[in-house]
Amino acid sequence: MNPIEDFFPFLHKQSKVVITMHQKPDGDAMGAALGLYHFLIQYGHPVSVISPTNWANFLDWMPQVNKVLNYEKDTAFADKLIAVADWIFCLDFNAMHRTKKMEQSLLNAHAIKVLIDHHELPQTEAFDYGISLASKSSTSEMVYDFITASGNRDKINLDIATCLYTGLMTDTGSFRFPSATASVHLAIAYFKEIGLDHSVIHEKIYDINTEDRLHLIGNSILRKIEVFYEYNTALMVITKPELLKYHAKTGDTEGLVNYLLSIEGIKFGAMVIDRDEERKWSFRSKGSFDVNLFARNHFKGGGHKNASGGFSKDSLEETVKNFKAILLHYKEALN
């Protein structure tokens, strides 16, 4: 994988562009993708944004999100765009399998593939150019760096600022995580200088909930938490009947795992959700406990040191039983 800086001269060459991100894109994945979209269209490039799956309703207000294709719904059309693309930007994922059913189409594409990501252990052989920095707060911050380093900060408009701020805000836990470094705040300062109204973005992301989602959150906190104080660990298990009861949609469980770390003394929070095709795990930690390694070693996942995810094809009962058995080996690390 060649350095991202070597790609900068291509920006001025008229090209067909596809931008994609990981499945079930969050605020950072969608923010980075749309921020880059609003930058590249200023060069006159035809640009398509393709999500591997659907996304949370709370992202539907973002500028031009209505132009994002859902690969699972528009597979044939999306495959044609991928096949004829000159460049494919791969944002906020470190390995092609994180694009789910898009993986083979992306691997088969003849386009120049460009990685911009902040997860560990990137699949470098799959990309022609790129940058992977786990120290960065978000991929949205890295897209800001990409635009700035290429000498184009003057092209950042309110649409770009809005999209990138969304990613910065959501991936730093509203700027409370250690990843909210000085460079993050300097980027935000520039967005404010050009007129960004940040309070509106906070409201659209965090202050608009359905009654069903609040009931799901309340039930999960009241009835679904199991605490293992000897391991400084808390577990939340959400079943398929509960998802159906509260009419859960994509994004409705976003942030639930973070409640576990708010319990006094808890260093490791784990949440598992019973999905149709698999059991989806989310892991969060405080301090030195590395949930990226935990997810990689036990649940075919990964992410960041203090925030990661994984999955299991076992039944919900079996994967929870397995988690509890694995936990026995981490007593020293968690104390």
Pairing of strands 69-70, 302-303: unpaired
Question: What is residue 220's three-state secondary structure?
Answer: helix
Fold for domain 2-206? inorganic pyrophosphatase (n-terminal core) (3.90.1640)
**What pairs with residue 263 in β-bridges?**
none
Distance CA 44, CA 40 (A): 7
> pTM here?
0.91
Cα-to-chain-centroid distance, residue 93? 8
Helical (H) or strand (E) element with 283: strand 279-285
Which one is the CATH code of 211-330: 3.40.50.2300, 3.10.310.30, 1.10.10.10, 3.30.1330.10?
Answer: 3.10.310.30
Per-residue pLDDT of the chain (335 residues; tens, 9 = 90+): 999 999 999 999 999 999 999 999 999 999 999 999 999 999 999 999 999 999 999 999 999 999 999 999 999 999 999 999 999 999 999 999 999 999 999 999 999 999 999 998 899 999 999 999 999 999 999 999 999 999 999 999 999 999 999 999 999 999 988 899 999 999 999 999 999 999 999 999 999 899 999 999 999 999 999 999 999 999 999 999 999 999 999 899 999 999 999 999 999 999 999 998 899 999 999 999 999 999 999 999 888 899 999 999 999 999 999 999 999 999 999 99
In angstroms, the first-to-last Cα distance of the chain is: 40
Question: What is residue 311's three-state secondary structure?
Answer: strand
Please state, as a whole number, how many other Cβ atoms lie within 10 Å of the Cβ of residue 324. Answer: 14
Tell me how many helices (H) and strands (E) the chain has. 12, 13
Q: Where in the chain is the domain with CATH 3.10.310.30?
A: 211-330
